[in-house]
Amino acid sequence: MTSAYQPDAVEKAAREQWDAARCFEVGEDSSKDKFYCLTMFPYPSGKLHMGHVRVFTISDVIARYQRMQGKHVLQPMGWDAFGMPAENAAIQRGIPPARWTYNNIDDMREQLKRLGYAYDWTREVTTCDPEYYRWEQWLFTKMFAKGLVYRKNSVVNWDPVDQTVLANEQVIDGRGWRSDALVERREIPQWFMKITAYADELLTELDNMPGWPDSVKTMQRNWIGRSEGVELTFEIGGDHEPLTVYTTRPDTLFGVTYMAVAAEHPLASFAATDNPDIAAFVEECKKTDAAEATLETMEKRGMPLGISAIHPLSGEDVPLWVANFVLMSYGTGAVMAVPGHDERDWEFAKKHNLPITQVIAPADGSPVDIQQAVYVDKGVLVNSGEYNGMDFETAFHAIADHFEKSGLGKRTVNYRLRDWGVSRQRYWGAPIPIIFCDDCDAVPVPEDQLPVVLPEDVEFTGVGSPLKHIPEFFQTTCPQCGKDARRETDTFDTFVESSWYFARYACPDAGGAMLDERADYWMPVDQYTGGIEHAILHLLYSRFFQRVMRDEGITQSSEPFTNLLTQGMVLKEGAKMSKAKGNTVDPQELIDKYGADTVRLFMMFAAPPEQALDWSDAGVQGGFRFLKRFWHAVQTHVDAGSVVDVDPNELNDGQKELRRKTHQTIDKISDDIGRRHSFNTAIAAAMELLNAVNKFGDHSDIGRAVVRESLDAVVLMLSPIVPHICDALWQALGHATPLVDQPWPAVDEAALERDLIELVVQVNGKLRGKISMAADAHKDAIIEQALADPNVQRFIAGKNVRKAIVVPGRLVNVVV
């Protein structure tokens, strides 16, 4: 009698065995190749959701596969524990953010354990722990000493009713999500990390990262956005400071017909002092959120300031406008406009009846009507005085030379990338270790006073940061002069914590330093897996931090992640699953009903990892059915008794065929999991092999031995995906050593050989027949037999065979 598949009992037994043997706890073993397998750690939002299950299962499959390849595998887990949702929960439920967070961590840790992930739990890292964030505070003070951090004004969303800074996500159609008040743009002083100091390295090293997807590298390249251009100065009459602008198209300089400045620009303020219309417009411009998408898609509006700049080449007056699409804190707060050769400038000029001048003509001489359509291509200069007739390159350098000689401009390499603003006017984050002193200005907290601990037992109302109301927190003395001083109450952007946690996993208990020598054993991460939504910010900040740590001398590698797998989102009804949208699916129900293995299997089977997966409940059932068939097949085989050793050379044709299928499948699944990360097709191949085994009617001793080889292989190869059931089946198959210590099965090349192969015959590219040929048949023999096929004859009858193309091992195409 075979026993029924009972996932609860099977999974419990496997877990207990792994725990007892401490299978996944690893030290540093220099005799083996290390493999550091990591997922983007979760934000402890409450319960696991399907996106978590997907990313953790992908990584667990890779980790377990690499272990079977003989690697020394580290797979750690931790918690990205600071963030806004804890504050929202605090407002809604009156629970302190810390308690809410720790409760969630406890719940989610249990769920992760239930899913059977091969984690080394002894290395768990939680970012809201002062023993964690003290080290990023420490690094910040080191960066301060090197001039890699600075303070400057920058723009935030201000809710005038709640008197609070809002995240972009909290602004809905220009209004505060709780107050419904129109949001205003405000400039306040904030701390910045000088990521631009590394812009060039971050850009050029992308060329040496073959383990990253091209799409992510392209996005990062475009985000960094290196451009070569010219910075030039326009004089303004009166006492005004000249305007400096940057352009990548100095060749279009004669086409400048107006300029635009930001609402916060001193020239706008000046013009507004005695012009109420301009003052009103300037105020109006500030009533918008600060998101780039808003800025670029909103209606472009502007007003003339009644001030002119002097064109540096022609000497003509160029009118100045104030415009809502120019931001003071990005670049110089001023832009030159060339409506003839820039899309946005053209539309603005049309709307406001500003002159449009053609200064570039197509190189091939074809006519262009600049009043009807903008011309943005590079060409030859016209209407540009002494520069007429030059092409882009020549004009660029001639004009740049002119400005460098006159001192009114210079060639400049510019980056789209902006320095990283790390200040948040929020409570639930790591305190920024700065003390403000009236005499000494901003002073970093000395190392022996770190960490600056965030008080956890607070009342949180959502109006401003509670830290501003806790004198014990902000009242302090200046570390330099000893006078009374005030502690910074802003906290770090949570991306700071996630920019170095991967290195801390190597040495989570290092008490005296941010990292120790164990980081050099484990880093860089060999395989990093996470959502494509992190393609730019998190991954770029991490690459930056890794370099800052390198330059601080505490770690050696420059790049944190050698191979990157960006898994697609789990969507529900076509949209990102999120608590905010309320469209989450609880994996726990499925785990309770079918077990962890079914959930893991279905998640891997439903779609390739890199693709978005629109969740549907249907189909999980099929995964469960497959596991039952799998269980039944092994049990039935085992119940029929033990098997004999056989010589592969003594098999009959049917036995040879199943054995060939087994080794073809090993070949395919090894490639699918190891190289392609194509888990869905790996599972499909395993299903096919199992279907073949179930259809195999040969119950002779030799036949059963061939089946045994197939079953052993399927159990081994599915074990990274469904480890619990495979563990039980491995034991059932009579193996004494635990499955978790088994090597990956090897392909017997001899088993793959075959005498006859099938070739497809096409006529003019359309399938017309199939022929069976010796594997080493000559091209002419193949064509001869293809032409002899009766159906092929029908289609070539009465026509000339112009040629025949033979694709070895695949097909023949007869062209008539």
Partner RNA sequence: GCCGGGAUGGCGGAAUUGGUAGACGCAGUGGACUCAAAAUCCACCGGUGGCAACACCAUGGGGGUUCAAGUCCCCCUCCCGGUACCA
Chain positions 34 to 73 lying near RNA, rule: CB under 7 A, are 43
Task: Report the C-alpha gap between 520 and 637 in whole angstroms.
Answer: 48
What x-and-dash track marks residues 288-307 binding RNA by CB under 7 A? --xxxx--xx----------
Per CB under 7 A, contacts with RNA among 490-509 are 493-495, 498
Q: Is 770 in the site for RNA (CB under 7 A)?
A: yes
Name the residue nearer to RNA (CB basis): 163 or 621.
621
Q: What angle do CA 127, 130, 136 make, to 5 degrees?
A: 65
Q: Is 611 in the site for RNA (CB under 7 A)?
A: yes
Task: Report the C-alpha gap between 380 and 367 in whole angstroms.
Answer: 12
Name the residue nearer to RNA (CB basis): 85 or 560.
85
Name the residue nearer to RNA (CB basis): 34 or 576.
576
DSSP helix/strand/coil, 458: coil
Min separation Cβ 91 and RNA, Å: 14
Piece in contact with RNA (CB under 7 A), picked from 139-147, 172-180, 210-218, 249-257: 210-218
Task: Report the C-alpha gap between 430 and 407 in whole angstroms.
Answer: 46
3-state percent breakdown (helix, strand, coil) of the chain, nearest 5: 40, 20, 40
Q: Is 126 in the site for RNA (CB under 7 A)?
A: no
Q: Which residues contact 60 (CB under 8 A, 6 or more apart)?
A: 75, 116, 117, 118, 600, 720
Per CB under 7 A, contacts with RNA among 562-581 are 569, 571, 574-576, 578
Q: Which residues contact 710 (CB under 8 A, 6 or more apart)?
A: 658, 659, 661, 662, 689, 690, 692, 693
Q: Which of 207, 214, 749, 755 binds RNA (CB under 7 A)?
A: 214
Name the residue nearer to RNA (CB basis): 508 or 530.
530
Nearest to 261 by CA among 239, 280, 278: 278
Piece in contact with RNA (CB under 7 A), picked from 214-222, 236-244, 401-409, 480-488: 214-222
Nearest to 627 by CA among 743, 527, 723, 739: 723
Q: Which of 156, 313, 395, 435 binds RNA (CB under 7 A)?
A: 156
Min separation Cβ 656 and RNA, Å: 19
Contact 230, 291 (CB under 8 A): no
Q: Is 227 in the site for RNA (CB under 7 A)?
A: no
Task: Report the C-alpha gap between 258 and 273 in whole angstroms.
Answer: 22
Min separation Cβ 72 and RNA, Å: 28
Name the residue nearer to RNA (CB basis): 171 or 320.
171
Q: Is 92 in the site for RNA (CB under 7 A)?
A: no
Q: What is the sign, positive or negative, of the torsion defined by CA atoms of 515, 518, 520, 525?
A: negative
Per CB under 7 A, contacts with RNA among 588-607 are 605-607
Q: Is 651 in the site for RNA (CB under 7 A)?
A: no
Q: Is 585 in the site for RNA (CB under 7 A)?
A: no
Q: How many CA atoms lie within 13 A of 717 on its CB side?
A: 33
Min separation Cβ 608 and RNA, Å: 4
DSSP at 383: S
587, two tokens: 């994996």
Name the residue nearer to RNA (CB basis): 478 or 782.
782
Min separation Cβ 623 and RNA, Å: 7
Piece in contact with RNA (CB under 7 A), picked from 309-317, 399-407, 776-784, 801-809: 801-809
Q: Is 767 in the site for RNA (CB under 7 A)?
A: yes
Task: Report the C-alpha gap between 258 and 308 in whole angstroms.
Answer: 9
Q: Which of 28, 205, 517, 533 binds RNA (CB under 7 A)?
A: 533
Contact 63, 101 (CB under 8 A): no
Min separation Cβ 648 and RNA, Å: 24
Q: Which of 17, 394, 588, 694 binds RNA (CB under 7 A)?
A: 694
Residue with tokens 């022609």: 314
Min separation Cβ 465 and RNA, Å: 11
Piece in contact with RNA (CB under 7 A), picked from 516-524, 590-598, 671-679, 721-729: 671-679
Q: Which of 197, 219, 382, 398 binds RNA (CB under 7 A)?
A: 219
Q: Is 765 in the site for RNA (CB under 7 A)?
A: yes
Q: Is 614 in the site for RNA (CB under 7 A)?
A: yes
Nearest to 91 by CA among 492, 579, 578, 459: 459
Per CB under 7 A, contacts with RNA among 397-426 are 416-418, 420-421, 423-426
Min separation Cβ 695 and RNA, Å: 7
Min separation Cβ 609 and RNA, Å: 9
Pairing status of strand 226-236 against strand 302-310: antiparallel
Min separation Cβ 525 and RNA, Å: 18
Q: Which of 263, 381, 458, 613 binds RNA (CB under 7 A)?
A: 613
Nearest to 186 by CA among 305, 329, 56, 40: 329
Residue with tokens 């631009």: 196
Q: Is 628 in the site for RNA (CB under 7 A)?
A: yes
Min separation Cβ 116 and RNA, Å: 22
Per CB under 7 A, contacts with RNA among 535-564 are 535-538
Question: From residue 411, how far is each of 242, 309, 334, 369 by CA, in Å?
Answer: 18, 21, 18, 31
Per CB under 7 A, contacts with RNA among 345-404 are none
Query: Got the DSSP string for 120-188?
Result: -GGG-EETTSHHHHHHHHHHHHHHHHHT-EEEEEEEEEEETTTTEEE-GGGEETTEETTT-PBPEEEEE
User: How many residues contact RNA, by CB under 7 A?
Assistant: 105
Name the residue nearer to RNA (CB basis): 40 or 253.
40
Task: Report the C-alpha gap between 565 and 610 in whole angstroms.
Answer: 7
DSSP helix/strand/coil, 98: helix
Q: Which of 622, 648, 674, 738 binds RNA (CB under 7 A)?
A: 622
Nearest to 479 by CA among 516, 502, 500, 450: 450
